[in-house]
Structure formats: C-alpha cells, structure tokens
Chain A
C-alpha cells in the first residue's frame, strides 16, 4: 500500500514539475473540447454589455464576500488590533502594486508567477479555484487543472510578491464552499484550456454554476458521503458507510448560535474593519474597472477586424 502511494506521489510530483517548466507562452494541455457556441454568445453579449457596464464597486455590505481575507481570525487568542491594522496596511500596499481580481471558489484563474526554476523565469498556470483559505497575509488559494492527463494542483499565496499577474478568466461560484471532491471526479470536470480568454461579465450578481458532478467509483481520497455536498450527483456507498455517515452527521449545527458566533466576526467589527480600508479599496476598484474596460474595448476592436 505504501509503495503504491509513494509511486503515485512521485508521479504527481513529476507532473507538478512539468507544470512548473511551462514556458512564457501558455500552451493548451486540455483534452476537453470547449463548447464554442457558448463563447460566441458570450462575445456578442459582451459587446452589448461593455458599453453599459457601469464602474460599479462592491458596496460595504458586500465586502465580506469580495474581500474575505480582510477579516481576521475570529479566535480571540490570536487577535490584536494593532497587528490587524498593520496587516491590512500591508495588504493594501500589495494590492496597489498588483491588482487582485474578485474571485470565488469555482472561478477559473490564470496566475503568472516568477519561478527561478522555470525556463524563462516566468510561469503561467490556469485552473479552477478549488479552495480559498487563510486570512490576512496568510490567505491562499488552490488551483486545479489537468496537464498531460494528470490532475495538477498548485497552491498560491494571495499576497506573494512573486506573483506577476492574476486574471479571473471566468467569474462564477459553485454550489459548495470547497471543490476538493474534484480530485475524485472524472478528469474532464477539472480540465480547462491554458489559452482561455477573459470572459465578459454578463450579470451584476455573481452567477452560480449549479453543475452536478459525478464521482469516480471508490476508493476516494476522503469519505465524501459525510460532507453533505451539493455539487455532486449522487454518492453511492455501501450500507455500512451510509449508516456511519448518518451517525456522524450533525444537522443541528446550523442552529448552534454560539458556534456561528465563535467562528465569525460580528457585523459591527466587520463594518469597522471595512470602513478602515474602504477608501483605498474603492480607489483600486475604480482603477481596475478602467483597465478592464480598456481591455474589453481592445478585444472588441480586434474581433471586429477579424470579422472584416
């Protein structure tokens, strides 16, 4: 068993190394054929939308979803006002150098990263964000894609100064907070082309992709039947495991007020924190929107010339 796992680890590591060796020019490694009709529709929509798209920044009430890492760890053992303030200042300083887009678990990101071991000292990875964790400068996200028929995951720190660029190619949410079950799903569901282009924002609210994914047959990396997943088709396990999962389920936890109190920052404190960073974030947001609009206009022009 250990030998098998070791071999598997080696294989994945080799593939990870492969991913790191990717040159400056992004190549397509995907096997899944993208539906071109959808993209075409999107493009048409974007032409109509870009003109109407307002320079709208997220409101203060929305900030806890857009910038979750600005909220500190709610554990009172680790809290200190001055430290949180300094950390926020550092985060804003980094954000003023690198524009970090709004993204969620389920969004597709492209990260350009300077890597001393890469061929051109620079690397690009495209993948679906399957995990977003940590707060403050420790916050990080996990991208997953398929390279040469093997699942590859790359873990990035959000405030790492070695990151050159972060693009949100497709802004959407999924039904779950973590998509780690993609590891045990068919590879086609975590395959995204490396030459994907930024999709235009269609609606004001963030679209939720309610795709239901089937899982591979057993064995799995985790006991998914215990997690109450919404984005998975149907989980088939034997009776014993079903019983165990039912025994371990805690359906009353959502009514536990003290638990939510312990695990979240109260609204008054959130307002205090976000009003502290509001002006700076708003400025950055406006700059980002201007850049985005310019990019979309350029794309429109280029597409027109192509059609002509």
Chain B
C-alpha cells in the first residue's frame, strides 16, 4: 500500500518539474468584466442557407406554375372584380366614421404647372395590387398600443391590406396561410388600418387610386431616408463655428450644451449628434392634384414625402380638422366601376398637358 502511495507521490513530483515555474497573478479587469457572448455560428456546422423545399416538380409543372404566378399581374389587368358585389354596399359617410387608407409606392418627383402658370413639384405614388386581406372586428381587435382615450366613443375595427403580388412559390407555408384563408394572391407587404365598423370591407376587395378624389387632403406615412450617424450640423441644422479667424478643431461641433451651477448634467432632449433618419414620419395635409386610374398613380402636392424613391408609404385621410374630407367615396370606390372613370382626373387648378398654352387676360379685356 505504502509503495503504491510513494509511486503516486513520485508522479506528482515529476509533473511539478514539468510545469513552468511562473506565478500567475490575476489582475482584475476594470469595466465590463463579462461581456455578453456574441451569437456566432459554430464553425463546425454548415452555414444555414435558405433553400426552398424541393417539391420534385417536373419541368412542365414548374413552367405551368410560373405561368400562373405571372398571370396575376395586378388590378388594371383584371377585367372585373370577382367579388360578390352585393356585399359591398356604398354606405353614407357620417361624422366620426373612418375609412381605410392605401398602401402606396413612392415612384418619383416631377413638376406640374397650375393654371395660373405656377410650377409646383409633385410626388408620384403608385398603388400596386392593393387588396383587403382580413377584417378584424372591434371586439377581436386588440392592438399592442392602445388608444390614448380610455373609453373611446366608437371602438374601431381593423382592416389588413396587402400590396404588391409576389410569386407564391417563393414564400413559406405559414405566410402563404394568411392569404390562402382570404383567397387573395400572396402580397409582399401587409399593413393594418383602423376603421370604424361601417367602413368594413370583405377580404379580397381590390382598392385602387380612385379611392381618393383629386382635391382631397391626405396624410402620408413613410420611413425617412437612413442617413446614419450624423453630426449636429446636418442632423439639427446647427450653424457650426467659423472656418478661420483662429478657430481650431471646432468647425462642425455643437459648442456648449448647457448645464452649470447645481444642475451638472445634460438636460434630456438636448440636440446632439446621433443616428439620423430611418424613422417613421407622417407628412400631414397633402393635397392630391391628379390621379391616373389606368396606372393607379396619385400626384401629390409635395416634394418631401418621407422615404426614398421606390419605397412603400401609407396613405390616410387627413386628421387635420380644417382639411378633413366630408364627402369621400365610402367605404371605397366601387371596384366594378373603375372602367367608368376617365383615365386622368385633375383638380380644377392644375393645367393638363393636353390643354392649350396658358395665356393671361389683360385687365382691359376682362
């Protein structure tokens, strides 16, 4: 027994000689000692690639499916709404009722001329394949962010709209389920619009640019252009400091940010450098000047609609009390009457390009 113990001791001694004779001193790290582990994909696992489920289709079947997907091009291709039109009754607009908005795509900015010769910049917003996907009645509608009114007089329901048709082969089964239950082609974007129960629409109802009339005022919500981390001059329009006259190292800086005496802190809300843009903003009270019913494009009197060109934006009836609309198409423009409208709709003060040149009457003649 003792011999065995001795041999073990010998081993330990041997191992002690092998070890480096250095005294490790642990120095405490200041600051954050245990940074949270970053999520990193294990090197030994293959990288996940989003490969679609292999459905083992024959080439003929694949061709047929892509043909079907490309056939559904959008509203203006559709000859007649497939809905049971009796279900969409043109209701009467009453005070306090709220109808749905539209999902649009900002497609560019160009000038139009008014009849008085004034040049105005307009933004073009295209309404692409807007359809109702779902109606949630007021009892079931429970948004995360509640209305600021504790006991609203009318409890609003909600319409889910979809825009821009996509190929059903490209999406997941779960996402497809949303549209399958509604009988609607799968959409790229979905948006929720709160509506009063009298403005409810059945799912599948197509919505077009004629939902609005020229001359009406709308609010446009969009995500502003992402400008990244910006200094105080670009972000808040500060003046900066002189370029010369002995100024060194502070040309675009904010300067004093307040504080002094007992406060000894930066007041909340102080304008400082930071991330600029990429925020949801609403441009309110924008006038509609012109509507093209064939391409579903709305010309709006504004050059500052939030967002880049080719991004989505959301159009609502304005909430500004002086510009509120009292006789809209309610709950929407009847989808079967779209062909009855002329291709171009203008407000009275816009000069259509097909009309003759602008001429001013001299005072004596008038």
B360 within 8 A of A: yes
What is A's interface to B at a CB cutoff of 8 Å?
Answer: 77-80, 82-87, 90-91, 93-94, 96-98, 114-116, 120-122, 136-138, 157, 159-164
Choice from A78, A97, A121 contacting B354 with Cβ under 8 Å:
A97
Q: Which residues of the other chain, B, contact A163 by a CB distance below 8 angstroms?
A: 357
Secondary structure call for the B interface:
loop
B355 within 8 A of A: yes
Q: Which residues of the other chain, A, contact B295 by a CB distance below 8 angstroms?
A: 82, 85-86
B81 within 8 A of A: no
Residue of B nearest to A157 (CB): B119
Name, among A116, A120, A161, the residue most crowded by chain B CB atoms within 10 Å (CB to CB).
A161
- CA A137 to CA B310, docked complex, whole Å: 19
- B297 adjacent to A82 (CB under 8 Å): yes
- B110 adjacent to A161 (CB under 8 Å): no
Choice from A83, A116, A121, A157 contacting B107 with Cβ under 8 Å:
A83
Q: Which residues of the other chain, A, contact B308 by a CB distance below 8 angstroms?
A: 77
Q: Which residues of the other chain, A, contact B362 by a CB distance below 8 angstroms?
A: 120-121
- CA A157 to CA B357, docked complex, whole Å: 14
Residue of A nearest to B356 (CB): A97
- B360 adjacent to A78 (CB under 8 Å): no
Q: Which residues of the other chain, B, contact A120 by a CB distance below 8 angstroms?
A: 362
Total A-B residue contacts, Cβ distance less than 8 Å: 78
- CA A80 to CA B119, docked complex, whole Å: 22
- CA A45 to CA B295, docked complex, whole Å: 51
- B292 adjacent to A86 (CB under 8 Å): yes
A283 to chain B, nearest CB (A): 15
Q: Which residues of the other chain, A, contact B178 by a CB distance below 8 angstroms?
A: none
Question: Which residues of B299-339 are within 8 A (CB) of A?
Answer: 308-310
- CA A116 to CA B366, docked complex, whole Å: 14
Name, among B107, B124, B308, B361, the residue most crowded by chain A CB atoms within 10 Å (CB to CB).
B107
Choice from B111, B117, B309, B357 contacting A77 with Cβ under 8 Å:
B309
Q: Which residues of the other chain, B, contact A77 by a CB distance below 8 angstroms?
A: 308-309
The 10 closest A-B pairs by CB, nearest first: A83-B108, A93-B353, A80-B107, A121-B360, A94-B353, A83-B107, A162-B358, A162-B117, A93-B354, A90-B353
A233 to chain B, nearest CB (A): 37
- B353 adjacent to A121 (CB under 8 Å): no
Residue of B nearest to A73 (CB): B108
Choice from B309, B354, B355 contacting A80 with Cβ under 8 Å:
B309
A279 to chain B, nearest CB (A): 17
What is B's interface to A at a CB cutoff of 8 Å?
Answer: 107-108, 110-113, 117, 119, 124, 126, 292, 295, 297, 308-310, 351-362
The verdict on A114 contacting B353 (CB below 8 Å), with A82-B107, A82-B295, A138-B111 known, is no
- A78 adjacent to B108 (CB under 8 Å): yes
Q: Which residues of the other chain, A, contact B361 by a CB distance below 8 angstroms?
A: 121
Q: Which residues of the other chain, A, contact B110 by a CB distance below 8 angstroms?
A: 83, 87, 136-138
Residue of B nearest to A136 (CB): B110
Residue of A nearest to B360 (CB): A121
Q: Which residues of the other chain, B, contact A84 by a CB distance below 8 angstroms?
A: 108
Q: List 19 A-B contacts (CB under 8 A).
A: A78-B108, A80-B310, A82-B107, A83-B124, A86-B124, A86-B292, A90-B353, A93-B353, A114-B358, A121-B360, A137-B110, A138-B110, A157-B111, A160-B117, A161-B117, A162-B113, A162-B357, A162-B358, A163-B357
Given contacts A78-B108, A93-B354, list 12 more A-B pairs with CB under 8 A.
Answer: A83-B108, A83-B110, A90-B353, A97-B354, A116-B360, A121-B359, A136-B110, A138-B111, A157-B111, A159-B353, A162-B113, A163-B357
B214 to chain A, nearest CB (A): 15
B23 to chain A, nearest CB (A): 61
- CA A142 to CA B342, docked complex, whole Å: 37
B312 to chain A, nearest CB (A): 13
- B124 adjacent to A160 (CB under 8 Å): no
A102 to chain B, nearest CB (A): 20
Residue of A nearest to B128 (CB): A82
- CA A91 to CA B308, docked complex, whole Å: 24
- CA A116 to CA B360, docked complex, whole Å: 6
- CA A83 to CA B354, docked complex, whole Å: 18
Q: Which residues of the other chain, A, contact B108 by a CB distance below 8 angstroms?
A: 78, 80, 83-84, 87
- A114 adjacent to B360 (CB under 8 Å): yes
Q: Which residues of the other chain, A, contact B292 by a CB distance below 8 angstroms?
A: 86
Residue of B nearest to A95 (CB): B353
Q: Which residues of the other chain, B, contact A91 by a CB distance below 8 angstroms?
A: 353
- CA A11 to CA B108, docked complex, whole Å: 39
